[in-house]
A and B are shown apart, each in its own frame.
Chain A
Amino acid sequence: MGDAVPPELLETLRATAREIRRDIVRMTYAAGSGHPGGSLSVVELLTALYFRELRIDPARPSDPDRDRLVLSKGHAAPALYSALALRGFFPRGELATFRRLGSRLQGTPDRLRLPGVDASTGGLGQGIGMAVGMALDARLARRPTRVYAIVGDGECQAGALWEALLAAAHHRLGQLVVLIDRNRFESDGATEEIVGIEPLVDKLRAFGCATAEIDGHDLAEILGALERARATIDRPSAIVAHTVKGRGVSFMENTHVWHGRAPSKDEAERALIELGVPPSEAVR
Protein backbone atom coordinates (compact mmCIF):
# COMPACT_ATOMS: atom_id res chain seq x y z
CA MET A 1 0.00 0.00 0.00
CA GLY A 2 2.87 2.29 0.83
CA ASP A 3 4.00 1.87 -2.76
CA ALA A 4 1.01 3.96 -3.82
CA VAL A 5 2.47 7.10 -2.24
CA PRO A 6 3.68 9.37 -5.07
CA PRO A 7 7.49 9.75 -5.10
CA GLU A 8 7.23 13.55 -5.29
CA LEU A 9 5.19 13.57 -2.10
CA LEU A 10 7.73 11.37 -0.36
CA GLU A 11 10.51 13.72 -1.43
CA THR A 12 8.63 16.72 -0.04
CA LEU A 13 7.93 14.91 3.20
CA ARG A 14 11.56 13.91 3.54
CA ALA A 15 12.59 17.54 3.11
CA THR A 16 10.10 18.55 5.80
CA ALA A 17 11.46 15.91 8.15
CA ARG A 18 14.95 17.28 7.58
CA GLU A 19 13.76 20.79 8.47
CA ILE A 20 12.13 19.51 11.66
CA ARG A 21 15.37 17.77 12.69
CA ARG A 22 17.31 20.99 12.22
CA ASP A 23 14.72 22.88 14.28
CA ILE A 24 14.99 20.33 17.09
CA VAL A 25 18.74 20.84 17.31
CA ARG A 26 18.44 24.63 17.12
CA MET A 27 15.65 24.79 19.71
CA THR A 28 17.27 22.55 22.31
CA TYR A 29 20.62 24.31 21.80
CA ALA A 30 19.05 27.76 22.17
CA ALA A 31 17.01 26.69 25.20
CA GLY A 32 19.97 24.98 26.83
CA SER A 33 17.67 22.13 27.81
CA GLY A 34 15.11 19.77 26.35
CA HIS A 35 14.90 16.29 24.89
CA PRO A 36 16.58 15.93 21.51
CA GLY A 37 16.88 12.11 21.43
CA GLY A 38 13.18 11.27 21.61
CA SER A 39 12.28 14.29 19.49
CA LEU A 40 14.51 13.18 16.63
CA SER A 41 13.00 9.68 16.71
CA VAL A 42 9.39 10.83 16.14
CA VAL A 43 10.11 13.19 13.26
CA GLU A 44 8.82 10.99 10.45
CA LEU A 45 5.72 9.99 12.44
CA LEU A 46 4.82 13.64 12.97
CA THR A 47 5.68 14.55 9.40
CA ALA A 48 3.42 11.85 7.98
CA LEU A 49 0.60 12.87 10.31
CA TYR A 50 0.75 16.66 10.01
CA PHE A 51 1.60 16.89 6.32
CA ARG A 52 -0.51 14.07 4.93
CA GLU A 53 -2.79 12.17 7.28
CA LEU A 54 -4.53 14.63 9.61
CA ARG A 55 -7.60 16.51 8.41
CA ILE A 56 -6.72 19.87 9.95
CA ASP A 57 -6.77 23.49 8.93
CA PRO A 58 -4.27 25.87 10.56
CA ALA A 59 -6.73 28.69 9.95
CA ARG A 60 -9.33 26.89 12.07
CA PRO A 61 -7.36 25.21 14.88
CA SER A 62 -10.50 24.74 17.01
CA ASP A 63 -12.71 23.20 14.31
CA PRO A 64 -14.64 20.53 16.26
CA ASP A 65 -14.59 18.14 13.30
CA ARG A 66 -10.81 18.18 12.91
CA ASP A 67 -8.65 15.17 13.59
CA ARG A 68 -6.72 15.26 16.87
CA LEU A 69 -3.16 14.42 17.74
CA VAL A 70 -2.09 13.75 21.31
CA LEU A 71 1.65 13.81 21.84
CA SER A 72 1.55 11.69 24.98
CA LYS A 73 5.33 11.75 25.19
CA GLY A 74 5.13 15.48 25.69
CA HIS A 75 8.88 15.86 26.12
CA ALA A 76 9.17 15.48 22.32
CA ALA A 77 7.62 18.96 22.14
CA PRO A 78 10.37 20.44 19.92
CA ALA A 79 9.42 18.06 17.11
CA LEU A 80 5.73 18.91 17.54
CA TYR A 81 6.35 22.65 17.62
CA SER A 82 8.47 22.56 14.50
CA ALA A 83 5.82 20.53 12.66
CA LEU A 84 3.05 22.91 13.76
CA ALA A 85 5.05 25.97 12.73
CA LEU A 86 5.93 24.51 9.35
CA ARG A 87 2.28 23.56 8.89
CA GLY A 88 1.32 27.18 9.53
CA PHE A 89 -0.20 27.20 13.01
CA PHE A 90 2.15 29.94 14.23
CA PRO A 91 5.21 31.84 12.95
CA ARG A 92 8.32 29.76 12.67
CA GLY A 93 10.36 32.53 14.28
CA GLU A 94 8.62 31.74 17.54
CA LEU A 95 10.50 28.44 17.75
CA ALA A 96 13.44 30.42 19.14
CA THR A 97 11.43 31.13 22.28
CA PHE A 98 11.11 27.44 23.23
CA ARG A 99 11.26 26.97 27.03
CA ARG A 100 11.74 30.71 27.65
CA LEU A 101 9.75 32.69 30.18
CA GLY A 102 6.55 33.98 28.59
CA SER A 103 6.74 31.70 25.54
CA ARG A 104 3.75 29.82 24.17
CA LEU A 105 6.20 27.00 23.51
CA GLN A 106 6.35 25.45 26.95
CA GLY A 107 8.72 22.63 27.88
CA THR A 108 5.80 20.29 27.29
CA PRO A 109 2.79 21.12 25.07
CA ASP A 110 0.10 23.36 26.51
CA ARG A 111 -3.11 23.39 24.50
CA LEU A 112 -4.41 26.51 26.25
CA ARG A 113 -1.41 28.53 25.06
CA LEU A 114 -0.52 27.29 21.60
CA PRO A 115 -2.88 26.84 18.64
CA GLY A 116 -2.59 23.42 17.06
CA VAL A 117 -1.84 21.61 20.32
CA ASP A 118 -4.78 19.29 20.97
CA ALA A 119 -3.85 18.13 24.47
CA SER A 120 -1.60 19.36 27.25
CA THR A 121 0.75 16.54 28.15
CA GLY A 122 4.02 15.93 29.94
CA GLY A 123 3.49 13.38 32.68
CA LEU A 124 3.56 9.99 30.92
CA GLY A 125 0.72 7.49 30.63
CA GLN A 126 -2.12 9.97 30.37
CA GLY A 127 -2.23 10.70 26.65
CA ILE A 128 -3.96 7.48 25.63
CA GLY A 129 -6.69 8.06 28.19
CA MET A 130 -7.22 11.55 26.83
CA ALA A 131 -7.29 10.19 23.29
CA VAL A 132 -9.87 7.59 24.34
CA GLY A 133 -12.00 10.40 25.79
CA MET A 134 -11.66 12.42 22.58
CA ALA A 135 -12.70 9.42 20.50
CA LEU A 136 -15.71 8.76 22.75
CA ASP A 137 -16.63 12.44 22.49
CA ALA A 138 -16.45 12.29 18.68
CA ARG A 139 -18.55 9.14 18.60
CA LEU A 140 -21.23 10.59 20.89
CA ALA A 141 -21.34 13.80 18.85
CA ARG A 142 -21.32 11.82 15.58
CA ARG A 143 -18.31 13.72 14.33
CA PRO A 144 -15.89 12.28 11.76
CA THR A 145 -12.89 13.01 13.98
CA ARG A 146 -10.05 10.51 14.12
CA VAL A 147 -7.68 10.59 17.07
CA TYR A 148 -3.98 9.81 16.93
CA ALA A 149 -1.72 9.40 19.94
CA ILE A 150 2.05 9.11 19.98
CA VAL A 151 3.52 7.36 23.00
CA GLY A 152 7.07 6.55 23.93
CA ASP A 153 8.32 3.04 24.51
CA GLY A 154 9.50 3.86 28.02
CA GLU A 155 5.97 5.16 28.51
CA CYS A 156 4.71 1.63 27.82
CA GLN A 157 5.91 0.81 31.34
CA ALA A 158 3.18 3.09 32.71
CA GLY A 159 0.16 1.12 33.83
CA ALA A 160 -2.29 3.85 32.92
CA LEU A 161 -1.50 3.37 29.26
CA TRP A 162 -2.74 -0.21 29.46
CA GLU A 163 -5.81 0.82 31.47
CA ALA A 164 -6.74 3.20 28.70
CA LEU A 165 -6.16 0.55 26.02
CA LEU A 166 -8.56 -1.77 27.86
CA ALA A 167 -11.22 0.92 27.59
CA ALA A 168 -10.36 1.65 23.95
CA ALA A 169 -10.77 -1.98 22.95
CA HIS A 170 -13.90 -2.44 25.06
CA HIS A 171 -15.56 0.50 23.34
CA ARG A 172 -14.28 -0.61 19.92
CA LEU A 173 -12.72 2.75 19.18
CA GLY A 174 -11.81 2.27 15.54
CA GLN A 175 -11.16 5.98 15.18
CA LEU A 176 -8.22 5.73 17.59
CA VAL A 177 -4.68 5.09 16.37
CA VAL A 178 -1.83 4.68 18.83
CA LEU A 179 1.70 5.06 17.48
CA ILE A 180 4.49 3.74 19.65
CA ASP A 181 7.89 5.36 19.14
CA ARG A 182 9.98 2.23 19.73
CA ASN A 183 13.40 3.85 19.94
CA ARG A 184 14.52 1.32 22.58
CA PHE A 185 15.82 3.84 25.10
CA GLU A 186 14.32 5.72 28.00
CA SER A 187 15.91 8.32 30.23
CA ASP A 188 17.98 5.90 32.31
CA GLY A 189 19.00 3.41 29.62
CA ALA A 190 17.66 0.67 27.34
CA THR A 191 14.04 -0.27 28.04
CA GLU A 192 14.84 -3.98 27.94
CA GLU A 193 17.55 -3.54 30.56
CA ILE A 194 15.39 -1.44 32.88
CA VAL A 195 11.92 -3.01 32.79
CA GLY A 196 11.38 -4.91 29.56
CA ILE A 197 8.24 -4.26 27.54
CA GLU A 198 8.65 -7.01 24.96
CA PRO A 199 6.93 -8.79 23.33
CA LEU A 200 5.22 -5.45 22.73
CA VAL A 201 3.23 -6.29 19.61
CA ASP A 202 1.84 -9.43 21.25
CA LYS A 203 0.79 -7.39 24.27
CA LEU A 204 -0.96 -4.80 22.14
CA ARG A 205 -2.74 -7.51 20.16
CA ALA A 206 -3.79 -9.24 23.38
CA PHE A 207 -5.20 -5.92 24.57
CA GLY A 208 -7.50 -5.85 21.57
CA CYS A 209 -5.63 -3.63 19.12
CA ALA A 210 -5.15 -4.16 15.41
CA THR A 211 -1.38 -4.12 15.30
CA ALA A 212 1.27 -3.20 12.79
CA GLU A 213 5.03 -3.08 12.99
CA ILE A 214 6.90 -0.68 10.76
CA ASP A 215 10.12 1.20 10.20
CA GLY A 216 9.27 4.47 11.88
CA HIS A 217 11.61 6.44 9.65
CA ASP A 218 10.19 5.12 6.37
CA LEU A 219 7.52 7.58 5.35
CA ALA A 220 5.95 5.25 2.80
CA GLU A 221 5.61 2.53 5.44
CA ILE A 222 4.13 4.98 7.93
CA LEU A 223 1.56 6.24 5.43
CA GLY A 224 0.68 2.68 4.48
CA ALA A 225 0.11 1.71 8.11
CA LEU A 226 -2.03 4.82 8.69
CA GLU A 227 -4.10 3.94 5.65
CA ARG A 228 -4.68 0.42 6.93
CA ALA A 229 -5.61 1.86 10.32
CA ARG A 230 -8.27 3.97 8.63
CA ALA A 231 -9.82 0.78 7.30
CA THR A 232 -9.95 -0.71 10.82
CA ILE A 233 -13.29 0.30 12.26
CA ASP A 234 -14.06 -2.20 15.00
CA ARG A 235 -11.05 -1.73 17.29
CA PRO A 236 -8.19 0.64 17.98
CA SER A 237 -5.05 0.39 15.91
CA ALA A 238 -1.60 0.22 17.46
CA ILE A 239 1.41 0.85 15.26
CA VAL A 240 4.79 -0.07 16.67
CA ALA A 241 7.22 2.19 14.86
CA HIS A 242 10.80 0.98 15.14
CA THR A 243 12.92 4.08 15.33
CA VAL A 244 16.39 5.25 16.24
CA LYS A 245 16.73 7.48 19.24
CA GLY A 246 18.60 10.60 18.19
CA ARG A 247 18.06 9.74 14.49
CA GLY A 248 19.99 11.91 12.05
CA VAL A 249 22.72 13.09 14.41
CA SER A 250 25.44 10.42 14.56
CA PHE A 251 26.57 11.06 18.11
CA MET A 252 23.01 11.17 19.46
CA GLU A 253 21.90 7.90 17.88
CA ASN A 254 21.12 4.73 19.81
CA THR A 255 21.89 6.01 23.27
CA HIS A 256 19.91 7.27 26.22
CA VAL A 257 22.50 9.98 26.90
CA TRP A 258 20.68 12.53 24.72
CA HIS A 259 17.25 11.77 26.15
CA GLY A 260 17.19 14.92 28.23
CA ARG A 261 20.37 16.79 27.40
CA ALA A 262 20.78 19.79 25.14
CA PRO A 263 23.72 20.13 22.75
CA SER A 264 26.52 22.60 23.42
CA LYS A 265 27.41 25.14 20.74
CA ASP A 266 30.02 22.81 19.19
CA GLU A 267 27.69 19.84 19.35
CA ALA A 268 24.82 21.79 17.82
CA GLU A 269 27.11 22.95 15.03
CA ARG A 270 28.26 19.40 14.29
CA ALA A 271 24.69 18.16 14.41
CA LEU A 272 23.41 20.81 12.00
CA ILE A 273 26.24 20.16 9.55
CA GLU A 274 25.35 16.46 9.65
CA LEU A 275 21.77 17.50 8.88
CA GLY A 276 22.92 19.30 5.75
CA VAL A 277 23.13 22.86 7.01
CA PRO A 278 26.06 24.77 5.45
CA PRO A 279 28.78 25.31 8.10
CA SER A 280 28.52 29.08 7.72
CA GLU A 281 24.84 28.95 8.79
CA ALA A 282 25.05 26.14 11.35
CA VAL A 283 24.96 28.10 14.62
CA ARG A 284 24.48 31.82 14.59
Chain B
Amino acid sequence: MTVGGHRASLVEAYGRALVELGERDPRVVVLDADLAAATGTGAFARAFPERAIDLGVLDASMMSIAGGLALDGRPTFAGTNAVFAAGEAYNFVRQSIGLNGANVKIVASPAGLSAGPDGAALAMLEDLGLMRGLPGMTVLVPADAPSARSATFAVAERPGPAYVRLAGVPLPDVTDGPLVIGRAAELRSGTDLAIVALGAFVHRALELADDLARVGLSARVLDFASVKPFDEPALLRAARDTGAILVLEEHSALTGVGALVAAVTAENYPVPVRRIGVPDVFSESGRPDELLDRYGGSAAHLRDEAWELLKSRGRVS
Protein backbone atom coordinates (compact mmCIF):
# COMPACT_ATOMS: atom_id res chain seq x y z
CA MET B 1 0.00 0.00 0.00
CA THR B 2 1.34 3.44 -0.79
CA VAL B 3 0.93 6.15 1.75
CA GLY B 4 0.07 9.75 1.22
CA GLY B 5 -1.32 11.67 -1.70
CA HIS B 6 0.23 14.79 -3.06
CA ARG B 7 2.14 17.13 -0.80
CA ALA B 8 0.40 20.40 -0.08
CA SER B 9 1.12 23.46 2.00
CA LEU B 10 -0.77 23.65 5.28
CA VAL B 11 -0.38 27.39 5.56
CA GLU B 12 -1.76 27.94 2.06
CA ALA B 13 -4.75 25.79 2.92
CA TYR B 14 -5.21 27.83 6.07
CA GLY B 15 -4.92 31.04 4.05
CA ARG B 16 -7.61 29.94 1.59
CA ALA B 17 -9.91 28.93 4.44
CA LEU B 18 -9.38 32.36 6.00
CA VAL B 19 -10.60 34.07 2.84
CA GLU B 20 -13.77 31.97 2.92
CA LEU B 21 -14.25 32.81 6.58
CA GLY B 22 -13.70 36.47 5.81
CA GLU B 23 -16.39 36.38 3.16
CA ARG B 24 -18.83 34.64 5.48
CA ASP B 25 -18.18 36.72 8.58
CA PRO B 26 -17.35 40.42 8.28
CA ARG B 27 -16.02 40.44 11.83
CA VAL B 28 -13.04 38.17 11.11
CA VAL B 29 -9.73 39.96 11.60
CA VAL B 30 -6.24 38.63 10.88
CA LEU B 31 -3.12 39.84 12.67
CA ASP B 32 0.43 39.17 11.61
CA ALA B 33 3.79 39.94 13.11
CA ASP B 34 6.01 40.57 10.09
CA LEU B 35 5.83 36.91 9.06
CA ALA B 36 2.77 37.03 6.80
CA ALA B 37 4.63 35.04 4.15
CA ALA B 38 5.11 32.19 6.61
CA THR B 39 1.57 32.29 7.95
CA GLY B 40 -0.17 32.25 4.58
CA THR B 41 -2.38 35.27 5.15
CA GLY B 42 -1.55 37.15 1.95
CA ALA B 43 -4.77 36.24 0.16
CA PHE B 44 -6.87 37.41 3.09
CA ALA B 45 -4.97 40.70 3.21
CA ARG B 46 -5.59 41.27 -0.50
CA ALA B 47 -9.28 40.44 -0.18
CA PHE B 48 -9.92 42.36 3.05
CA PRO B 49 -7.17 44.96 3.54
CA GLU B 50 -9.07 46.72 6.33
CA ARG B 51 -9.26 43.52 8.34
CA ALA B 52 -5.64 42.44 7.93
CA ILE B 53 -3.26 44.16 10.31
CA ASP B 54 0.46 43.54 10.21
CA LEU B 55 1.87 44.57 13.57
CA GLY B 56 5.53 44.18 12.69
CA VAL B 57 7.80 42.61 15.26
CA LEU B 58 5.34 43.16 18.12
CA ASP B 59 5.18 39.47 18.87
CA ALA B 60 4.18 39.77 22.51
CA SER B 61 1.93 42.80 22.20
CA MET B 62 0.23 41.29 19.16
CA MET B 63 -1.35 38.82 21.59
CA SER B 64 -2.60 41.63 23.86
CA ILE B 65 -3.93 43.54 20.86
CA ALA B 66 -5.60 40.36 19.62
CA GLY B 67 -7.13 39.86 23.07
CA GLY B 68 -8.53 43.40 23.06
CA LEU B 69 -9.97 42.95 19.57
CA ALA B 70 -11.63 39.67 20.49
CA LEU B 71 -13.12 40.46 23.91
CA ASP B 72 -16.62 40.90 22.52
CA GLY B 73 -16.37 37.79 20.37
CA ARG B 74 -14.78 39.09 17.18
CA PRO B 75 -13.01 36.07 15.60
CA THR B 76 -9.40 37.24 15.65
CA PHE B 77 -6.62 35.19 14.06
CA ALA B 78 -3.07 35.99 15.15
CA GLY B 79 -0.24 34.28 13.34
CA THR B 80 3.51 34.03 13.73
CA ASN B 81 6.29 31.49 14.23
CA ALA B 82 5.54 29.16 17.15
CA VAL B 83 8.63 30.29 19.02
CA PHE B 84 7.18 33.79 19.21
CA ALA B 85 3.52 32.84 19.50
CA ALA B 86 3.93 30.37 22.34
CA GLY B 87 7.40 31.20 23.63
CA GLU B 88 8.05 34.93 23.47
CA ALA B 89 4.39 35.80 24.01
CA TYR B 90 3.56 33.13 26.56
CA ASN B 91 2.35 35.33 29.40
CA PHE B 92 0.60 37.63 26.93
CA VAL B 93 -1.33 34.66 25.62
CA ARG B 94 -1.96 33.52 29.17
CA GLN B 95 -3.24 36.83 30.53
CA SER B 96 -4.51 38.95 27.62
CA ILE B 97 -6.17 36.01 25.87
CA GLY B 98 -6.59 33.11 28.31
CA LEU B 99 -7.56 34.89 31.51
CA ASN B 100 -9.75 37.25 29.49
CA GLY B 101 -11.52 34.41 27.66
CA ALA B 102 -10.82 36.21 24.39
CA ASN B 103 -11.90 34.73 21.07
CA VAL B 104 -8.39 34.62 19.62
CA LYS B 105 -7.15 31.89 17.28
CA ILE B 106 -3.38 31.71 17.40
CA VAL B 107 -1.92 30.12 14.29
CA ALA B 108 1.70 29.13 14.75
CA SER B 109 3.92 28.36 11.78
CA PRO B 110 6.56 27.22 11.33
CA ALA B 111 6.66 25.07 14.41
CA GLY B 112 8.76 22.16 15.58
CA LEU B 113 11.39 20.76 13.25
CA SER B 114 9.73 22.29 10.20
CA ALA B 115 11.77 25.42 10.96
CA GLY B 116 14.45 23.31 9.27
CA PRO B 117 17.64 25.14 8.29
CA ASP B 118 16.72 28.15 10.43
CA GLY B 119 17.92 26.12 13.39
CA ALA B 120 17.29 25.90 17.11
CA ALA B 121 16.44 29.55 17.83
CA LEU B 122 13.46 29.33 15.50
CA ALA B 123 12.49 25.69 15.98
CA MET B 124 9.88 25.71 18.75
CA LEU B 125 9.69 22.33 20.46
CA GLU B 126 7.94 23.27 23.70
CA ASP B 127 4.78 24.97 22.46
CA LEU B 128 2.30 22.14 22.87
CA GLY B 129 3.30 21.63 26.48
CA LEU B 130 2.90 25.34 27.17
CA MET B 131 -0.38 25.78 25.32
CA ARG B 132 -2.14 22.66 26.52
CA GLY B 133 -1.42 23.75 30.07
CA LEU B 134 -3.57 26.86 29.63
CA PRO B 135 -7.15 26.50 30.89
CA GLY B 136 -9.70 26.90 28.10
CA MET B 137 -7.18 26.70 25.27
CA THR B 138 -8.05 24.46 22.33
CA VAL B 139 -4.85 23.00 20.82
CA LEU B 140 -4.76 21.48 17.34
CA VAL B 141 -1.97 20.02 15.21
CA PRO B 142 -3.29 19.33 11.68
CA ALA B 143 -1.36 16.62 9.83
CA ASP B 144 -2.02 17.79 6.27
CA ALA B 145 -3.49 20.58 4.18
CA PRO B 146 -7.11 19.35 4.26
CA SER B 147 -6.87 19.14 8.05
CA ALA B 148 -5.39 22.62 8.25
CA ARG B 149 -8.41 23.81 6.31
CA SER B 150 -10.96 22.05 8.51
CA ALA B 151 -9.08 23.12 11.65
CA THR B 152 -9.47 26.75 10.57
CA PHE B 153 -13.24 26.42 10.31
CA ALA B 154 -13.43 24.35 13.48
CA VAL B 155 -11.66 26.91 15.66
CA ALA B 156 -13.67 29.74 14.11
CA GLU B 157 -16.89 28.02 15.11
CA ARG B 158 -15.76 27.25 18.64
CA PRO B 159 -15.84 30.31 20.91
CA GLY B 160 -12.74 31.03 22.96
CA PRO B 161 -9.00 30.79 22.54
CA ALA B 162 -7.30 28.26 20.29
CA TYR B 163 -3.76 27.40 19.23
CA VAL B 164 -3.26 25.80 15.84
CA ARG B 165 0.21 24.47 15.04
CA LEU B 166 1.01 24.27 11.34
CA ALA B 167 4.10 22.69 9.81
CA GLY B 168 6.04 25.19 7.74
CA VAL B 169 6.62 22.73 4.90
CA PRO B 170 4.17 20.93 2.59
CA LEU B 171 3.07 17.54 3.89
CA PRO B 172 1.46 14.60 2.08
CA ASP B 173 -2.30 14.24 2.35
CA VAL B 174 -2.94 11.53 4.92
CA THR B 175 -6.33 12.19 6.50
CA ASP B 176 -9.64 10.93 5.17
CA GLY B 177 -12.08 13.31 6.83
CA PRO B 178 -12.34 16.68 8.50
CA LEU B 179 -10.51 17.40 11.71
CA VAL B 180 -12.99 17.23 14.57
CA ILE B 181 -12.08 19.01 17.80
CA GLY B 182 -11.86 16.52 20.65
CA ARG B 183 -11.70 13.48 18.38
CA ALA B 184 -8.70 11.36 17.42
CA ALA B 185 -8.97 10.06 13.86
CA GLU B 186 -8.31 6.36 13.36
CA LEU B 187 -6.47 6.23 10.05
CA ARG B 188 -5.63 2.52 10.26
CA SER B 189 -7.30 -0.14 12.32
CA GLY B 190 -5.18 -2.66 14.16
CA THR B 191 -4.83 -4.69 17.32
CA ASP B 192 -1.12 -5.51 17.74
CA LEU B 193 0.11 -1.99 18.42
CA ALA B 194 -1.27 1.55 18.58
CA ILE B 195 0.62 4.44 17.05
CA VAL B 196 -0.36 7.89 18.28
CA ALA B 197 1.00 10.45 15.84
CA LEU B 198 0.86 14.20 15.27
CA GLY B 199 1.60 16.56 12.40
CA ALA B 200 4.38 15.49 10.06
CA PHE B 201 4.69 12.21 11.93
CA VAL B 202 1.26 10.96 10.88
CA HIS B 203 2.64 10.17 7.45
CA ARG B 204 5.54 8.27 8.97
CA ALA B 205 3.16 6.41 11.27
CA LEU B 206 1.21 5.17 8.25
CA GLU B 207 4.43 4.06 6.58
CA LEU B 208 5.38 2.19 9.73
CA ALA B 209 1.97 0.54 9.87
CA ASP B 210 2.38 -0.59 6.26
CA ASP B 211 5.80 -1.89 7.08
CA LEU B 212 4.42 -3.96 9.96
CA ALA B 213 1.52 -5.17 7.84
CA ARG B 214 4.01 -6.76 5.47
CA VAL B 215 5.02 -9.15 8.25
CA GLY B 216 1.44 -9.78 9.32
CA LEU B 217 1.19 -7.31 12.20
CA SER B 218 -1.63 -4.82 12.45
CA ALA B 219 -0.98 -1.37 13.89
CA ARG B 220 -3.74 1.07 14.70
CA VAL B 221 -2.80 4.60 13.63
CA LEU B 222 -4.43 7.45 15.52
CA ASP B 223 -4.03 11.02 14.31
CA PHE B 224 -4.20 12.98 17.56
CA ALA B 225 -4.57 16.35 15.86
CA SER B 226 -6.82 17.46 18.72
CA VAL B 227 -4.27 17.75 21.51
CA LYS B 228 -6.76 19.59 23.66
CA PRO B 229 -9.49 18.61 24.21
CA PHE B 230 -7.78 15.24 24.23
CA ASP B 231 -9.67 12.13 23.12
CA GLU B 232 -9.04 10.00 26.20
CA PRO B 233 -11.63 7.38 25.25
CA ALA B 234 -9.89 6.73 21.91
CA LEU B 235 -6.54 6.45 23.65
CA LEU B 236 -7.83 4.07 26.30
CA ARG B 237 -9.64 1.96 23.69
CA ALA B 238 -6.34 1.69 21.87
CA ALA B 239 -4.57 0.76 25.10
CA ARG B 240 -7.13 -1.94 25.81
CA ASP B 241 -7.27 -3.32 22.27
CA THR B 242 -3.55 -3.32 21.49
CA GLY B 243 -1.73 -3.26 24.85
CA ALA B 244 1.14 -1.10 23.59
CA ILE B 245 1.42 2.49 22.39
CA LEU B 246 4.08 4.26 20.35
CA VAL B 247 3.87 8.06 20.28
CA LEU B 248 5.41 10.08 17.45
CA GLU B 249 5.71 13.86 17.64
CA GLU B 250 8.11 16.60 16.61
CA HIS B 251 8.11 18.19 20.04
CA SER B 252 10.13 18.01 23.21
CA ALA B 253 9.57 14.56 24.63
CA LEU B 254 9.68 16.14 28.10
CA THR B 255 6.41 18.03 27.76
CA GLY B 256 4.77 16.74 24.63
CA VAL B 257 1.78 14.57 23.88
CA GLY B 258 3.86 11.47 24.65
CA ALA B 259 4.08 12.59 28.26
CA LEU B 260 0.32 13.07 28.26
CA VAL B 261 -0.30 9.63 26.74
CA ALA B 262 1.94 8.07 29.38
CA ALA B 263 0.11 9.89 32.17
CA VAL B 264 -3.40 9.10 30.92
CA THR B 265 -2.64 5.42 30.40
CA ALA B 266 -0.77 5.12 33.71
CA GLU B 267 -3.78 6.50 35.55
CA ASN B 268 -6.43 4.53 33.72
CA TYR B 269 -5.09 1.51 31.90
CA PRO B 270 -1.33 1.03 32.22
CA VAL B 271 0.33 -0.36 29.11
CA PRO B 272 3.88 -0.01 27.78
CA VAL B 273 4.35 3.38 26.09
CA ARG B 274 7.36 4.50 24.06
CA ARG B 275 7.81 8.10 23.04
CA ILE B 276 9.53 9.43 19.93
CA GLY B 277 10.20 13.11 20.35
CA VAL B 278 13.12 15.48 20.62
CA PRO B 279 15.07 14.58 23.75
CA ASP B 280 16.29 17.16 26.24
CA VAL B 281 18.33 19.13 23.67
CA PHE B 282 17.93 22.14 21.40
CA SER B 283 17.63 21.09 17.78
CA GLU B 284 19.86 22.21 14.93
CA SER B 285 19.81 23.25 11.28
CA GLY B 286 18.89 20.77 8.57
CA ARG B 287 16.12 19.84 6.18
CA PRO B 288 12.92 19.07 8.07
CA ASP B 289 12.88 15.43 6.95
CA GLU B 290 16.54 15.03 7.92
CA LEU B 291 15.74 16.47 11.33
CA LEU B 292 12.84 14.08 11.82
CA ASP B 293 15.28 11.25 11.09
CA ARG B 294 17.90 12.71 13.40
CA TYR B 295 15.58 12.91 16.39
CA GLY B 296 14.38 9.33 16.35
CA GLY B 297 11.96 9.40 13.44
CA SER B 298 13.85 7.42 10.80
CA ALA B 299 12.01 4.41 9.38
CA ALA B 300 14.62 2.06 10.82
CA HIS B 301 14.43 3.54 14.29
CA LEU B 302 10.64 3.58 14.31
CA ARG B 303 10.66 -0.08 13.30
CA ASP B 304 13.03 -0.89 16.19
CA GLU B 305 10.85 0.98 18.66
CA ALA B 306 7.73 -0.77 17.42
CA TRP B 307 9.52 -4.09 17.65
CA GLU B 308 10.50 -3.47 21.27
CA LEU B 309 6.88 -2.78 22.14
CA LEU B 310 5.63 -5.84 20.23
CA LYS B 311 8.22 -8.00 22.01
CA SER B 312 7.09 -6.70 25.39
CA ARG B 313 3.58 -7.84 24.50
CA GLY B 314 4.75 -11.23 23.27
CA ARG B 315 3.54 -10.45 19.77
CA VAL B 316 6.96 -11.12 18.30
CA SER B 317 10.04 -12.78 19.69
Which residues of A come within 8 Å of B, CB atoms?
64, 110-112, 118-123, 126-137, 140-141, 160, 163-164, 166-167, 171
Contacts and interface: CB of A to CB of B under 8 A. Distances in A.
Contacts, number: 101
Contacts of B60: 129, 160, 163
Contact of A126 (B29, B72, B76, B92): B92
A130 B64 contact: yes
A223 B269 CA distance: 65
B299 to A, nearest CB: 45
Given A133-B67, A160-B60, A160-B64, A126 B101 contact: no
Contact of A121 (B58, B70, B72, B95): B95
Contacts of A164: 58, 61, 64-65
A122 B96 CA distance: 10
A171 B65 CA distance: 12
A136 B64 contact: no
A137 to B, nearest CB: 5
A64 B50 contact: no
A166 B51 CA distance: 19
B13 interface: no
Chain B binding surface, main DSSP class: helix
B92 A129 contact: yes
B312 interface: no
B101 A130 contact: no
A129 B74 CA distance: 16
B71 A110 contact: no
Given A140-B29, A167-B58, A130 B91 contact: no
A201 B161 CA distance: 36
B61 A111 contact: no
Given A120-B95, A163-B60, A163-B61, A130 B51 contact: no
- Counting chain B CB atoms within 10 Å of each CB, which of A126, A131, A140, A163 scores highest? A126
Contacts of B62: 129
A137 B95 contact: no
Contact of A123 (B65, B66, B68, B91): B91
B55 interface: yes
Nearest to A110: B99
Given A131-B68, A135-B68, 19 more contacts: A111-B101, A112-B101, A123-B95, A126-B61, A126-B92, A126-B95, A129-B62, A129-B63, A130-B68, A130-B96, A132-B61, A134-B69, A140-B29, A140-B74, A141-B74, A160-B92, A163-B60, A164-B65, A167-B61
Contacts of B63: 129
Contacts of B29: 136, 140
